[in-house]
Structure 1
Amino acid sequence: MQVQIASEPAPERPANEDAALHVGSLVGVFDGVTAPEGIDCGCIHSPAWYVQRLTRRLAEVAEECPNTELPDMLAQAIERVRGDHGNRCDLDNPATPAATVCLIRANAGQMDYLLLADCTLVVDQGGNAVTALTDERFATAVAGLRREALATHGIEQLAGRSVRGKYELTNQPHGYWIAAANPEAAHRAVTGTLDLLGPARIRRAALLTDGVSCIVEKYSLMEWWQLLDALTEKGPHELIRYLRQVETSDPVGAKHPRYKRHDDATAALCVFEEHS
């Protein structure tokens, strides 16, 4: 497996709230949840701190127990980060620092994957079989909140009401799950296994934070297969550079509506066999 990774903060942002790792056959990308204004998260640490600490702890677990199932591996990492807070933070606060997660691991002719919240995994199974996988629960929960806020409070209060309501659904059975302070979230992740052998085998896989998947999902500048080809031919750094050019040329979101002018962007490309 050949792996290329790029992770870059949004321009003018002091810290990258994304992260990535590659340890043995384990590859992952992580997207920290930006701290909302006016909401007490109960924690003295930043989203960037949480993402970097989670990545480090997960790498430790992967090196110590490389054959552990992905949900158990992530749960152990979350538990270790709980200890890193040092009893200085209210970890029961639903707005405590958190991160979306996408993990893959190649092992014995198979590729295991894990998804929490809105990271995306794009897989190429040959021919025209390119599929994007994500955890739909986050988008479903947020869409429901937006509809309710719009109907009740109007467009002027849409953003604020949606953000506050989101935390009532965080790591709840009726809401969505995300890596934060509760290890149980890892066992509620979307997981699966895909073949690395046979006619439907995985040729390539891309792990993306939403700061990169927006090229397809929000901006409609590419199809998923084109994004995979761009990553393969030019590399993750060049794809992010192209994304920045698109966003800079549309600073107010006239062509590509969005909540942020730029977001942190992380992409990992895993190639399991030569692509032509």
Structure 2
Amino acid sequence: MELVSEPGDPGRPNEDFASVGLPASGQGGSLVVLDGVTPPQDGGGCLHSVPWFTARLGGALAELTVSLPDVPLTELLSRALTRTADGHAATCDLSHPRTPQATVALARWSPESVEYLVLCDSALLVESDDGTVTALLDDRLARLPRSALATDALVDATVRNREGGFFTAAADPSVAARAVTGTLPRDRVRALAALTDGAARWVERFHEGDWADCLTLVRKEGARSLVDRVRTLERADADRPAPRRGKTHDDATVVYAELWPRRPQ
């Protein structure tokens, strides 16, 4: 396993969260990646920061994915959201459309299977035993027309956590049922890579390669190399004449896990 997480701006806290877990039995593992959504200047009705939220939601998921191996990932996300919401419901307006929230990428493996869950625009890459790489994505945000994303106010009023729009993990535990989920045979999965959109820019924004190229880069050169390459591309993009493609730098997180073949029984 390898994990790299870096803030987009060294002067601001990293709003991403990442963890890996290995049960004491040594028979499986899990990974958790969250990308916190930067709030508006009014704070989104919450006294707490996005890193406060992602640390608590991510910490709950890291514990639950290992301690409750027979509970589906959707149920674990629902429980983690409830636990996190209970931690600040008495002091904060959890109904605010910008209450702290995050994208989610989860994977958990046992000797028999690999389970996954993706919510919003983080990416989970799966390399199969024949070398094929599949990107497991929740593309609802990417499919929205640019006109629907013209301003933060429009997004919050019409498409954020709404039918026909996109969903993030905020305070409502029922959003877990909206995630992209599935199960794969363990012996068909060679490796996994989870990326926040700040790291996935290498593919999605700068078009330096496809998802298979991205996973190959991480495997051969390491997760740090992917983040470093993204930073180089971002700096070059900042020198381009306006209009530029979104904010210059973003928090970037990569978790890579190689799953060795299941041992014969």
Same fold? TM cut 0.5:
yes
Identity score, percent: 36
Aligned partner of residue 142 in structure 2, secondary structure: helix
Superposition deviation, residue 11 in structure 1: 2.9
Counterpart of 2:147 in structure 1 is 147
> In the alignment, which residue of structure 2 is the partner of 1:175?
165
CA distance, structure 1, for counterparts of residue 35 and residue 245 of structure 2: 17
> Paired residue for 2:208?
221
Deviation at 1:66, TM superposition (A): 2.9
Q: Where does the alignment leave 5 or more consecutive residues of structure 1 unmatched?
A: 150-157
C-alpha spacing 1:256/1:232, structure 2 compared with 1 (3 Å):
farther
Give the partner amino acid of 2:135: A
| Aligned equivalent of 1:266, options 253, 256, 262 | 253
Q: Which residue of 2 aligns with 1:188?
A: 178
Q: Deviations over 1:37-89 (max 9, x none)?
A: 4x551111111211111111222323432321101111111111111115110
Q: Is the 8 A contact 1:219 1:256 kept in 2?
A: no
Number of aligned residues? 254
Q: Shift in Å at residue 232 of structure 1?
A: 0.8
Report what 1:10 is aligned to. 8
Asked if the contact 1:250–1:256 (Cα under 8 Å) also holds between the matched residues in 2, the reply is: no
Distance in structure 2 (CA, Å) of the matches to 1:271 and 1:8: 22
**Alignment-derived partner of residue 164 in structure 1:** 153
Structure 1 residues 102, 182: CA separation in 2 closer, same or farther (over 3 Å shift)?
Answer: same
| Cα-Cα RMSD | 2.1
Query: Which residue, 71, 74, 79 being the options, matches 1:68?
Result: 71
Shift of 1:245: 1.9
CA drift at 1:26: 1.3
Contact 2:107 2:114 in 1 (8 A): yes
Matched position secondary structure for 2:45? coil
- Give yes or no for contact 2:77–2:176 (8 Å, CA) kept in 1: yes
- Relative to structure 1, is the Cα distance of residues 23 and 126 closer, same or farther in structure 2, using a 3 angstrom cutoff? closer
1:137 aligns with one of 140, 144, 150: 140
C-alpha distance in 2 between matches for 1:166 and 1:73: 28
Query: 3-state DSSP class of the match of 1:139?
Result: coil
| Maintained 8 Å contact 2:199/2:252 | yes
- Counterpart residue number, 1:154: none
| Cross-structure match for 1:54 | 57
Residue 19 of structure 1: which of 17, 20, 24 is its match?
17
Return the TM-score normalized by structure 2: 0.88
What is the TM-score with the length of structure 1 in the denominator? 0.85
The alpha-carbon distance between structure 1 residues 219 and 64, as it changes in their structure 2 partners (threshold 3 A), is same
Q: Which runs of 5+ in 2 are unaligned?
A: 23-28
The 2-side partners of 1:233 and 1:5 are apart by: 14
For residues 129-186 of structure 1, the C-alpha deviation after alignment (integer angstroms, 9 at most, x for no partner) is: 222121111222xx33x2357xxxxxxxx3x2xx212223222233222100001111
Query: 8 Å contact 1:253–1:261 — kept in the other structure?
Result: no
Which has the higher mean CA deviation after the structures are superposed, 212-221 or 187-196?
187-196
The DSSP-based 3-state class of the residue aligned with 1:49 is helix
